Structure formats: structure tokens, C-alpha cells
């Protein structure tokens, strides 16, 4: 018997590991940033899915509703989304400068150019 | 218990993530990233996090995609497969970490459990006292701007720092001029 009550955590872990794999294994810098974004969404998903209460509604006070989902993870994740975009903007700016200087955004080529420079 | 809509959306999210990492065309990957954000926004809506959902839809699917496309325009929109030799080590490390984390989930409270520790301490206080103490019906707004206002202040500091960093790195219009008289790969010709 599969416990569907844990399915949300499993998908979150799958997404997290997908993102982590891209960050570690792919050489393309933009692909790495995409992986980082996937990782970030998975963390947000984790918090928000923990805040859900069975039979609850969105945490906006209204007559006739007694059970609300937990608003605290929502607040924390709002901050996380905006900060995540700020950091990925910074990362993309760095990629643009790397392209300008090295003429490539592939990690192994950048390493090769660096090694050539050190040798000469 | 998870509804069917949760199951379908979660599964779709995983499928899109796999598609993103397999694509060689970065332009297509960025567009799929937008779909990924939109899917997660709908998932946030069904999980009652409406404020997170519209922030994700605006910021994740909107601004993030635009920034990525702008970067692709200035760099390279194709991932070159010859740089991606298959390595076993990262895959092993990732699978091991994943299996460990899945093993850890069996101690987690089930989805939607009202007795989970996360719902016990400070959250009920916010839910009960927002109306009288802050007077705003939306609890997320009340916590964001009042109870945890210092978090938001810290967030604005981070955004300000990132903005300054991006401006210093790119230098506004200067970047476009530099690209117009760009030299071929390598740094030999530069002063």
C-alpha cells in the first residue's frame, strides 16, 4: 500500500535532486542557473505543502470559515521567491560578464582558457 | 490525503523538470521554465497559498523568464553537447542523497495533517489575533508587514544589494557598446 500522504515530499525531493544534478554535472552556466531555480522552487513547494491543513482554506479572514491553512510558511516563501529572483539576476549578470571576457559560457572551455593563460 | 488534482499537478511538475534538463536548446529550456513556474503557481493555489501563487506567477514566470531571455540574447542560446560528457559520480551522489531524503520522509507528518508540529506554536496565534491586533483580513499581509516586518526589511536589503551588484557588473548601456565591438574568443586582444 502506497502512502499518498507523502507523495508531495517525494516529488519535492525528486525536483530538488534534479536541480542539484544539473548544478553539479552540466557545464553550461545558464543551465546551472536553471537547475538552481528548479531547486529553489522545490524548497518553496516543500514549505507550502507543509503549511496546508486538511479542509482548510486560504488564510484570509472571512465569515463562515473556521479552518485556515498555516500562513507563516506562505510569508517566508514570499520572501524566498523575491530573494531568489534577485540572486539569479546577479548570477545572470555574472554569466554575461564571463561571456564577454572568455567568449564562452561552457565551464570546461573557461578552465582550458585559464590553464592556457597560466601556462603562457 | 492528496486529491487527484494535487497528484496530477505534482507529477506534471516532475515531468517538466526532466524535460528541462534534457533539452539542449536553452531557449526552449527557458520557455519550459516559465511553464514550470506557472504549474507550481497553480499548485500553490490548490495548496491555499494564494499570495505565494501570484508572486510566483508574476516573478517566477514573468520577470525571471525575461531576465533569462535577455541573458540568452547576450550570450549563447545553445548548449553544446560535446561539453557534457556523462559522469557517473554526480548521478551516484544525487541518487544517494535522494534515497536518504526519501527514507527520512517516513517520519514526516502526512500531507494536510492538522496535528503536525508546524501548526502548533506561533501559527495559531497569528490566525487568532490578526483581526484584533492588525485589522487586516489577509493574514499573510499582516504577518509580512507587521509581525515579521523585519524579515521583509531584510529582504529589501538583499534586493537592493543585488540591484547594486547587477548595475556594477553590467554598467547600464555600456554593455551594449562593449558587445558591438567585441573581440573573438580569448582575452589576447584586451588591454
Q: Which of B33, B152, B182 sits opposite A79 (nearest CB)?
A: B152
Chain B segment 145-174 residues within 8 A of A by beta carbon are 148, 151-152, 154-155, 158-159, 161-163, 165-166, 169-170
> Is B153 among the domain residues?
no
Tally of domains within chain B: 1
Domain assignment present for A60: no
Residue A87: CATH number of its domain = 1.10.287.3510
Q: Which residue of B10, B40, B152 is in closest CB contact with A8?
A: B10
Residue B16, in any domain of the structure: yes
- Chain A residues whose beta carbon lies within 8 Å of the beta carbon of residue B138: 59-61
B120 — phi, psi (to 5°)? -95, -40
Q: B25 lies in a domain?
A: yes
Residue B132 within any structural domain of the chain: no
For the segment A42-56, the average pLDDT, to the nearest whole number, is 88
Cβ–Cβ contact B100 with A under 8 A? no
Binary contact (A117, B79; C-beta < 8 A): no
Residue B165 falls within a domain, yes or no? no
Domain that holds residue A114: 4-51+68-119
Per-residue pLDDT, B191: 46
* Interface ipTM above 0.90: no
Per-residue pLDDT band for A33 (boundaries 50, 70, 90) equals very high
Q: Is residue A57 part of a domain?
A: no
- Does some domain include residue A62? no
Q: Which of B10, B79, B176 shows the shortest CA–CA distance to A6? A: B10
Average confidence (pLDDT) over A43-54 = 89
Residue B95 lies in a domain: no
Question: Which chain A residues are Cβ-neighbours of B79 within 8 angstroms?
Answer: 26, 28, 30-31
Range of the domain at B40: 1-78
Whole-number average pLDDT of chain A: 87
Residue B91 lies in a domain: no
**Mean pLDDT split into 10-residue runs, chain B, 191 residues:** 80 91 88 92 90 90 91 82 75 91 87 83 83 82 84 90 89 63 54 46
d(CA B191, CA B189): 7
How many structural domains comprise chain A? 1
**Cα-Cα end-to-end distance for chain A:** 64
In a domain, A11, yes or no: yes
pLDDT at residue B65, as a whole number: 92
Q: Which chain B residue's Cα is nearest to A81? A: B56
Q: A28 to chain B, minimum CA–CA distance in Å?
A: 6
Name the grid cell of B97: 542523497
pLDDT of A49 higher than 50: yes
Chain A: give the shortest CA distance to residue B81, in Å. 10
Helix intervals (H) in chain A: 7-25, 29-51, 71-102, 107-119
Amino acid at each position: 500500500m502506497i502512502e499518498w500522504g507523502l507523495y508531495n515530499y517525494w516529488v519535492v525531493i525528486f525536483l530538488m535532486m534534479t536541480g542539484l544534478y544539473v548544478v553539479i554535472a552540466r557545464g553550461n552556466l545558464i543551465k546551472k542557473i536553471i537547475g538552481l531555480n528548479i531547486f529553489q522552487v522545490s524548497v518553496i513547494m516543500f514549505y507550502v505543502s507543509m503549511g496546508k491543513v486538511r479542509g482548510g482554506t486560504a488564510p484570509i479572514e472571512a465569515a463562515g470559515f473556521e479552518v485556515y491553512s498555516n500562513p507563516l510558511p506562505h510569508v517566508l516563501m514570499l520572501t524566498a521567491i523575491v530573494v531568489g529572483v534577485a540572486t539569479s539576476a546577479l548570477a545572470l549578470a555574472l554569466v554575461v560578464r564571463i561571456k564577454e571576457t572568455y567568449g564562452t559560457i561552457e565551464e570546461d572551455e573557461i578552465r582550458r582558457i585559464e590553464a592556457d593563460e597560466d601556462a603562457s | 490525503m492528496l486529491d487527484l488534482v494535487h497528484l496530477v499537478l505534482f507529477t506534471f511538475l516532475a515531468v517538466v523538470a526532466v524535460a528541462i534538463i534534457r533539452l539542449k536548446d536553452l531557449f526552449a529550456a527557458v520557455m519550459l521554465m516559465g511553464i514550470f513556474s506557472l504549474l507550481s503557481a497553480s499548485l500553490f493555489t490548490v495548496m491555499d497559498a494564494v499570495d505565494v501563487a501570484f508572486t510566483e506567477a508574476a516573478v517566477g514566470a514573468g520577470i525571471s523568464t525575461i531576465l533569462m531571455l535577455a541573458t540568452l540574447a547576450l550570450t549563447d542560446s545553445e548548449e553544446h553537447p560535446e561539453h557534457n560528457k556523462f559522469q557517473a559520480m554526480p548521478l551516484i551522489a544525487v541518487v544517494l542523497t535522494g534515497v536518504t531524503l526519501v527514507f527520512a520522509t517516513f517520519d514526516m507528518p502526512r500531507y494536510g495533517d492538522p496535528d503536525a508540529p508546524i501548526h502548533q506554536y506561533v501559527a495559531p496565534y497569528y490566525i487568532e489575533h490578526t483581526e484584533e491586533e492588525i485589522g487586516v483580513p489577509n493574514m499573510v499581509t499582516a504577518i509580512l508587514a507587521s509581525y515579521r516586518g523585519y524579515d521583509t526589511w531584510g529582504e529589501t536589503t538583499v534586493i537592493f544589494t543585488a540591484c547594486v551588484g547587477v548595475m556594477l557588473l553590467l554598467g547600464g548601456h555600456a554593455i551594449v557598446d562593449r558587445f558591438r565591438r567585441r573581440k573573438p574568443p580569448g582575452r589576447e586582444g584586451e588591454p
